[in-house]
Structure 1
Amino acid sequence: MPTTALRLILQTLKTEPSRTWSIIITLYGDAVVPRGGSLWLGTLSAFLHTIDIGDGVVRTAMSRLAADGWLERSRVGRNSFYRLADKGRETFRSATQHIYNAHPPAPGRGFELVLLGTGTEREAARTALQEAGFGAAAPGVWVAPAGTAIPPAAADALRLDAAADTDTGRRLAALSWPLDETAAAYRRFLAAFGPLREALAAGEALSELDSFIARILLIHGWRRIILRDPILPADLLPPDWPGAAARALCADLYHRLLPASERWLDAHGQTESGPLPPPGPELQERFR
């Protein structure tokens, strides 16, 4: 039986729109890729059943992910095995630094400003700038902390270096990114997972399965916030910014859950050739 803190997390999950496909991608990127990348559908279904996601929903999500190029399937007899396709591996690889980095960026050194014209390539450049972490200060004006790489799709745009005092920098950041929304998401994360950390710190133990559930839901929730956060230096953020506390909680809770959750994978994870291989050393380096 899950602890009260974990039950509350699961109840919160059920109140949200269905994100089965996103949980699956989290599970693969966080737990399966470090162990070779392939997983039997039966292992995946057994886990998803524990959070009340049924076979029909799983099949629909897996079909969608395969059709969209996120997963690729192989078969051994009647058993199906899935691994992240090139698109999924590359996306998670590029996101890894954001997800598992334990340290905020150093104080800012100014801004990169990119001015887009009205040519036919503007939409592609706009999308590329958003994906690279730029914010929109005004129509056609994109901004990021100094040193942010300009994506190739915007390489022909006019680029300027800018400096600002702390107050002006914070006003520009608040204008360019939805920082209020991001702060609210961090506070919800702290409220959802703080009680679980407190329970574990007080000596409460989770089963191996519950540890794995909590770990995947932790990274699922964290990933959805951190990949939308521009990860600005502290001097550009409001003084009461909750991101640092959320990052510290996530790091601490992740390493509390990791040993038991890995034991569940040892016992239940299956690939085409047998049990999942042991994880690589990068697993222990996360949030360090």
Structure 2
Amino acid sequence: MIDPPDWLAPRLAALHNGPHRTGSLIITLYGDAIAPRGGSLALASLLSIMAALGIGEGVVRTAVSRLAAEGWLERRRIGRSGFYRLAAKGAETFAAATRRIYGAPPRREDPRLEVVVLGPASAREAARAALEAAGFGGLAPGVFVAPAGTAVPPLTGALRLTAEPAPGDAAALAALAWPLAGVADRYRHFLAVWAGAGPAPAPEPLTALVARVLLIHDYRRAVLRDPLLPAALLPSDWPQPAARALCARIWRRLLEPSEAWLDAHAIAEGGALPAPDAALAARFADLAET
């Protein structure tokens, strides 16, 4: 385990003071740092990174075996060395998550809502799952809403219409349909945890990689639950912009040293990790350097 600087020590300690899912941390590592470099990592390299986080070998081996069984990773053996790479299921999900984590939120100015009302012939559970996956929130039993322009999945026996909330009612309606209070709490917790990581000198490479994994792990736990609604549907003190700006600023500071550690120590199936693709440098590109 690393000897963390003062600004990172509380977050690293919190990782071990409560329950955490090692598999979820591994998913974060692959999505943030390994996917841009070909998607494959030697088990030995993964064990080194997880050890820096204070997570033991047995726990990591169990976690990657479970991720492979669930279709997120594929295990390959070359000689006596094992490697894990993103499976097709994992790669597709990572691509969608990457757009949400690092890309600019959609610019939605239209306050109107797409409304879907399920008919009695609809397969309610399957329809609900399809609508939620498409970005709809449940307003009432059988009634789902989403920002105007959201694609509606094909459903049998469902009615669709467009509605505009009365002035002053939009945010209250959105709070009924989506768990906005919980999402806001996650963003505020992120801001509280990472505010102290400001403009200090960049840490040494392995510490930077540990911090980068924890940073994105925390941020994605909020943003992947965020319905990314138009401003007209959000409370005036919505914390997402501040959380995203802080995440981008810290991530940029950690990027160069953490990539240096991967260059020097991480191994893929063909030897050293490939150089990162151009998309890595484009992450958070809409935010000005700070």
| TM bucket normalised to smaller | over 0.9
1:114-139 per-position Cα deviation (integer Å, ceiling 9, x unaligned): 11123362211101111222111111
Does 2:147 align with 1:145?
Answer: yes
Report whether the alignment pairs 1:72 with 2:74: yes
2:116–2:160 contact (8 Å) kept in structure 1: yes
Pick one of 247, 252, 256 that aligns with 1:250. Answer: 247
Q: Assess if the C-alpha contact under 8 Å between 2:119 and 2:157 holds in 1.
A: no
Q: Helix, strand or coil: the match of 2:7?
A: helix
Map of 2:266 onto structure 1: 269
Indicate the residue corresponding to 1:20 in structure 2.
Answer: 22
3-state SS, counterpart of residue 208 of structure 2? helix
> Could you give the per-residue CA deviations for residues 202-225 of structure 1, whole angstroms, max 9, x where no partner exists?
x33311111111111111111111
Contact 2:40 2:84 in 1 (8 A): yes
Q: CA deviation at 1:105?
A: 2.8
**Change over 3 Å in CA distance of 1:192–1:143 after alignment to 2:** same
Match of 2:288 in 1: none
Determine if contact 1:208/1:261 at 8 Å carries over to the other structure: yes
Specify the SS of the correspondent of 2:168. Answer: helix
Question: In structure 2, what is the equivalent of residue 173 of structure 1?
Answer: 174
2:156 pairs with 1:159: no
| Counterpart mapping for 1:215-254 below 5 A | 215-254=212-251
Q: Which amino acid aligns with 1:62?
A: V
Report SS of the residue matched to 2:54: coil
What is the distance in 2 between the residues matched to 1:90 and 1:212?
24
CA displacement at 1:113 relative to structure 2 = 0.5
Matched letter for residue 230 of structure 1: P
TM-score (norm 1): 0.94
Provide, for residues 25-57 of structure 1, a one-character-per-residue CA deviation record: whole Å limited to 9, x for no partner: 111111111111110000000000111111111
Q: Which SS does the other structure have where 1:217 is aligned?
A: helix
Secondary structure of the residue that 1:113 maps to in structure 2?
strand
Provide structure 2 residue ranges, at least 5 long, that are not aligned to the other structure. 286-290
Distance in 2 separating the partners of 1:218 and 1:155: 42
Matched positions, count: 283
1:124 corresponds to 2:126 = yes
Aligned equivalents of 2:160 and 2:284: distance in 1? Answer: 34
In 2: Cα distance, 1:126 partner to 1:16 partner? 33
Normalised TM-score (structure 2) = 0.94
The CA deviation at 1:78 is 1.3
Q: Distance in 2 between matches of 1:138 and 1:103?
A: 27
Mark the CA change 1:120 to 1:102 in structure 2 (over 3 Å): closer, same or farther.
closer
Decide whether the 8 Å contact of 1:71 with 1:85 is kept in 2: yes
CA contact (8 A) 1:107 1:233 kept: yes
Structure 1 stretches of 4+ with a deviation exceeding 6 A read none
Over the residues paired in the alignment, what is the CA RMSD in angstroms? 1.4
Per-residue deviation, 1:257: 0.8
Equivalent position SS for 2:247: helix
Which deviates the most, 102-111 or 262-271? 102-111
Deviation at 1:104, TM superposition (A): 5.5
Provide the C-alpha distance between the structure 1 equivalents of 2:118 and 2:93, rounded to a whole number of angstroms: 26
| Counterparts of 1:183 and 1:166, CA distance in 2 | 23
- The alpha carbon displacement at 1:155 in A equals 6.3
Matched, 1:5 2:2: no
Contact 1:105 1:232 survives alignment (8 Å): no
Q: State the alpha-carbon separation in 2 of the partners of residues 247 and 104 from structure 1.
A: 14
Per-residue CA shift, 1:164-198, capped at 9, x if unaligned?
A: 244121111011111111111111000111111x2
2:114 matches 1:112:
yes
Provide the residue aligned with 2:190 in structure 1.
189
Give the residue type in structure 2 aligned to 1:102.
Answer: A
Residues 128 and 151 of structure 1 are in contact (CA less than 8 Å); yes or no, is this contact kept in structure 2?
Answer: yes
Letter in 1 for 2:113: F
